[in-house]
Amino acid sequence: MPQAEFAIGRSDGQEEDARLKALASTGILDTAPEANFDAITRLAAEYFKADTVLLGFADESRVWTKSYWGEPVRELPRKQSIFERVLAEDGSVVVPNINDDPEYRERRFPLRRLDPLSFASAPVRTVDGKILGTLTIFSCEPRRAMAVTELRMLESLADIAAGQLELRRLRKALNGNRLRHERTIETVTGIWPRKSDLRQALEKKQFVLYYQPEVELTTRRIIGLEALIRWQHPDRGLIPPMDFIPIAEETGLILPIGDWGLSEACHQMRLWRSEDPEQAGPRVCVNLSARQFSREGLADHVEALLRRTGVSSQQLGLEMTESSLIPDPGTAMEVLGSLRRLGVSLLLDDFGTGYSSLNHLHSLPFDVLKIDRSFVARMTEGEQPLQIVRTIVELARVMGMDVVAEGIETNEQYMLLRRLGCRFGQGYLFSRPEPAETISAMLRLPGRILPDLEAPQAATN
């Protein structure tokens, strides 16, 4: 196997997308190690008298260890991993003595206590043959060449792991169906809100947009606004989006509601422009849901709206999450490309909560990456969550993307993010989402700089 081919891996884009889709459908990366998988690695360890056994599944950049025997490793870099080699060979790999193998002689394995001298690895495949992970046994001693029956045993154990994975996938699909079914029942049995409630709300113009400032962290200057929908219900008060957007998605009403949101945001931008013609209006970002994103002719629709409202495309941002792109990665690229050509900014929302990684990002034309607020919330808890944020900030910088940290609530988080070189952020520390009139007053502040309410005398850099 030539070095270059091994290092890069064999997976061309489409094959890799199909593999990742199959992996995502099992949900394995979102869960902790499971007893079923531990049983398999223990069995393999005993049968082969191995020092370490590792069962891992790979996304674009990492091999996520879901069960190990002998060595508590969690994640390994995928590049140049055994997984890559199994993928390249499209089958099992046996290396009886690492010192005799040109690929491994120079390389140290990221297993801490162990310096393995031999290993054998079998693919964990889906029913239609895609390799999602590997089951690998390591030994500190060189091993004699592996007998065919032994290799079959390892492959059978990997097949058992594949069986467990398939069960997980079926269970997940079943739960999804049940949830959908329950939702439908709720809708017909009158649990609120029903489709007709949402339709009425639209007709009676009960939806409103609130806006939350995005600020430059060093200066607290407002650089943009995120439009966040609310339902101003006459009896129930202000309803947050998570209480009705999922139902709107399911019933298809998200399309007219989303159209209303986009057009309302554009009208508001025009208004802010006219209130202060001297300054460029702030960029306003609107959230798009999966259904809106996969709608035919989205770019044409946005273009027509911009023309109708006389708003420049540079002023509009569209936010979407990884999960809304997944159903069809090929089309996602096309749609993102056409939006990009219009000149609107594209923001990847809630980054870190989906399954794709920074490697995958490289091929998608996003301008801004928004770090999910769960990472920001955990940042102050220890080195590992901090390291995740540091890595995201650093890699985004290398890829020439801006980073916005979401959900900044405390000064400590704010200071840490600044120290990490994160340029932009939003969160309650600066401002909650507010109605347009309150935002108008903020936009009139000198330099659009938000006051530091916690520590008025704080440092200026």
Residue ranges in contact with ligand C2E by CB under 6 A: 212, 228-229, 240-242, 245, 258, 261, 287-289, 319, 349-350, 373, 406-409, 426-428, 433
Nearer to Mg ion, 358 or 369 (CB): 369
The total number of residues shown for the chain amounts to 461
- Tell me if 310 sits within 8 A of 248, measured CB to CB: no
Q: What share of the chain is helix, strand, coil (3-state, %, to 5)?
A: 45, 20, 35
Q: Which one of ligand C2E, Mg ion, none interacts with residue 289, CB within 5 to 8 A by kind? A: ligand C2E
- How far CA 264 is from CA of 35, 436, 439, in Å, comes to 51, 11, 15
> Among residues 4, 24, 121, which one has the least CA distance to residue 328?
24
Q: Which one of Mg ion, ligand C2E, none interacts with residue 409, CB within 5 to 8 A by kind? A: ligand C2E
Q: Is 426 in the site for Mg ion (CB under 5 A)?
A: no
- Tell me if 151 sits within 8 A of 169, measured CB to CB: no
Nearer to ligand C2E, 84 or 349 (CB): 349
Q: Which one of ligand C2E, Mg ion, none interacts with residue 428, CB within 5 to 8 A by kind? A: ligand C2E
Q: 161: buried, middle or exposed (CB in 10 Å: 19+, 13-18, 0-12)?
A: buried
Which 82-101 residues touch Mg ion, going by CB under 5 A? none
Closest approach, Cβ 11 to Mg ion, in A, equals 30
Nearer to Mg ion, 84 or 349 (CB): 349
Q: Is 249 in the site for Mg ion (CB under 5 A)?
A: no
Residue nearest to ligand C2E (CB): 427
Q: Which one of Mg ion, ligand C2E, none interacts with residue 431, CB within 5 to 8 A by kind? A: none
Closest approach, Cβ 321 to ligand C2E, in A, equals 7
Q: Which strands, in side-by-side order, build the sheet including 75-77? A: 75-77, 62-69, 52-58, 131-139, 118-125, 93-95
Q: Which one of Mg ion, ligand C2E, none interacts with residue 261, CB within 5 to 8 A by kind? A: ligand C2E
Tokens representing residue 275 in the block: 């209130």
Closest approach, Cβ 212 to ligand C2E, in A, equals 6
Q: What is the DSSP letter of 146?
A: P
Question: Cα–Cα distance between 267 and 335 in angstroms, integer?
Answer: 24
Nearer to ligand C2E, 77 or 240 (CB): 240
Closest approach, Cβ 260 to ligand C2E, in A, equals 9
Could you write out the DSSP letters of every residue in 313-351?
A: GGGEEEEEEHHHHTT-HHHHHHHHHHHHHHT-EEEEEEE
Nearer to ligand C2E, 122 or 229 (CB): 229
Nearer to Mg ion, 350 or 402 (CB): 350
Question: Cα–Cα distance between 403 and 366 in angstroms, integer?
Answer: 11
Nearer to Mg ion, 81 or 356 (CB): 356
| Total site size for Mg ion, rule CB under 5 A | 5
CB atoms within 10 A of CB 284: 23
Nearer to Mg ion, 16 or 319 (CB): 319
Q: 440: buried, middle or exposed (CB in 10 Å: 19+, 13-18, 0-12)?
A: middle
Residue from 59, 303, 322, 350 binding Mg ion (CB under 5 A): 350
Closest approach, Cβ 70 to ligand C2E, in A, equals 41
Tokens representing residue 39 in the block: 């049983």
Nearer to Mg ion, 206 or 323 (CB): 323
Closest approach, Cβ 168 to ligand C2E, in A, equals 27
Q: Which one of ligand C2E, Mg ion, none interacts with residue 425, CB within 5 to 8 A by kind? A: none
- Tell me if 229 sits within 8 A of 223, measured CB to CB: no
Q: Is 349 in the site for Mg ion (CB under 5 A)?
A: yes
424: CB partners within 8 A, 6+ apart: 214, 215, 216, 217, 223, 368, 402, 403, 404, 405
Stretch that binds Mg ion, among 28-36, 39-47, 237-245, 311-319 (CB under 5 A): 311-319
- Binding map of Mg ion across residues 261-300, x = CB under 5 A, - = no contact: --------------------------x-------------
Backbone angles phi, psi at 350, to 5 degrees: 55, 40
Kindly list the residues in this chain that would bind Mg ion in the complex (CB under 5 A).
Answer: 287, 319, 349-350, 406
